[in-house]
Homo-oligomer: A and B are copies of this chain.
Amino acid sequence: MTTDAAIDSTGTGLDTGAHQHGYISDKDRYLARMKRIEGQARGIAKMIDDEKYCIDILTQVSALTRALQGVATGLLDDHLKHCVLDAAKLGDDAAIAKIQEATDAINRLVRS
């Protein structure tokens, strides 16, 4: 939705006209987490292929779900602290539009 590239980020994401998404200062950490999650998914596939006990597989599925939720709430926090606060500097309407997107995402997350 935002098409402008982050041209001149200070790392805070707070003072660029060209807005930078909040999570980008932590990009490497998020990539490492997703790499780990991908590995967890592959591990679960291997457990199924090895015909491991269903309950043990379920335990790993719950762990993977929790890891994903950690990524989701982290992204949300960064969104609120960066995208929303940046938008707030442009006026309430801009900020409220961003918050509405966040609320919709929270709804999907809580329901999922």
**Chain A contacts to B: CB under 8 angstroms:** 1-2, 6, 9, 11-12, 14-15, 20-24, 27, 30-31, 34-35, 37-38, 41-42, 44-45, 48-49, 51-59, 61-66, 68-69, 71-73, 75-81, 83-85, 88-89, 92, 95-96, 99-112
Contacts and interface: CB of A to CB of B under 8 A. Distances in A.
Nearest to A77: B103
Contact of A65 (B2, B42, B59, B112): B112
Kindly report how many copies of this chain are found in the complex they form together: 4
The A interface, classified by DSSP as helix, strand, loop or mixed, is helix
A106 B76 contact: yes
B99 A81 contact: yes
14 contacts: A1-B55, A9-B51, A20-B51, A21-B52, A24-B51, A31-B45, A31-B48, A34-B42, A54-B83, A57-B75, A59-B108, A61-B68, A61-B109, A73-B106
